[in-house]
Amino acid sequence: MRHIVKAYYMGGEEIRANDDINLDIEKGEFVSIVGKSGSGKSTLMNIIGALDVATSGDYFLSGEDVSHMTDNQLADIRNRMIGFVFQQYNLLPKLKVVENVELPLLYANIKAKERRERAFVALEKVGLTEKAYNMPNQLSGGQQQRVSIARALAGSPSLILADEPTGALDSKTSAQVLGFFKKLHEEGNTIIMITHDNSIAIEAKRVVRIHDGKINFDGDSEEYAGII
């Protein structure tokens, strides 16, 4: 990202939710983006996740210029490149666990047999193959979040983007979910985790802190732990 600005206009006044963000994230990194409520995290996540475009500045994702894309092009980028994990899991209640995991593959037009195979590989990674034919509401919150991680993994995305992934979980289950992210990072996945919670943020390798729309810390999580 180079000089990313996202401006909103309220009553003739400009609010810069993101104000000159410069950020390089390499393949295979595990980065948390941390900041207080209103600091600009969701705005930044929406741009990183190709859910929205910046007002100005440049954003390249795996070499593709995402800055000036149309809605259809952004949808294609999301399908091909990004696996989302949300605070509220966002599983479809009427689909079985394995069918939920297959959803991104369905959107990517992958055939049924391959979808099922890839969904099982993803469920294996989060240790939930034995729950494949259960309904989501038969699982605990932590297990549902692991299903949503499997769904994010199923499409082999370039980037896993997690928005407050432990926000709805107790501390023991949060630690378990963070453990899965660490394992996925060790396996070479690129992970960006958005959080308001410093104690969660330092579980990543690198911390980027945002304040009033600007980055005011970017470094190793051990260094960050020393200043908070």
Ligand X SMILES: Nc1ncnc2c1ncn2[C@@H]1O[C@H](COP(=O)(O)OP(=O)(O)O)[C@@H](O)[C@H]1O
The binding site for Mg ion (CB under 5 A) comprises 42
DSSP of 147-202: HHHHHHHHT--SEEEEESTTTTS-HHHHHHHHHHHHHHHHTT--EEEEES-HHHHT
Residue from 4, 21, 31, 39 in contact with ligand X (CB under 6 A) = 39
Among ligand X, Mg ion, none, what binds residue 176 when CB lies within 5 to 8 Å by partner kind?
none
Residue from 41, 125, 151, 185 in contact with ligand X (CB under 6 A) = 41
Residue from 14, 27, 28, 38 in contact with ligand X (CB under 6 A) = 38
Of the pair 18, 189, the CB lying nearest Mg ion is at: 18
Q: Is 55 among the residues that bind ligand X (CB under 6 A)?
A: no
Strand partners, 160: 83, 191
Among ligand X, Mg ion, none, what binds residue 147 when CB lies within 5 to 8 Å by partner kind?
none
DSSP of 141-156: HHHHHHHHHHHHHHT-
Of the pair 17, 149, the CB lying nearest ligand X is at: 17
Question: How many other CB atoms sit within 10 Å of the CB of residue 215?
Answer: 20
Count how many residues are written for the chain.
228
What would the x/- binding string for ligand X be over residues 3 to 22, using CB under 6 A?
-----x-x----x-x-----
Interacting span for ligand X (CB under 6 A) from 38-46, 73-81, 110-118, 151-159: 38-46
Q: Is 34 among the residues that bind ligand X (CB under 6 A)?
A: no
125: enclosing H helix or E strand: helix 112-125
Question: How many other CB atoms sit within 10 Å of the CB of residue 42?
Answer: 17
Residue from 42, 156, 158, 176 in contact with ligand X (CB under 6 A) = 42
Interacting span for ligand X (CB under 6 A) from 25-33, 41-49, 115-123, 135-143: 41-49
Of the pair 28, 38, the CB lying nearest ligand X is at: 38
Interacting span for ligand X (CB under 6 A) from 30-38, 83-91, 179-187, 198-206: 30-38
Dihedral sign, CA of 172, 200, 18, 68?
negative
91-94 LR contacts (CB < 8 Å, sep 24+):
91/136, 91/144, 91/147, 91/148, 91/151, 92/136, 93/135, 93/136, 93/137, 94/135
Q: Which residues bind ligand X (CB under 6 A)?
A: 8, 10, 15, 17, 35, 37-43
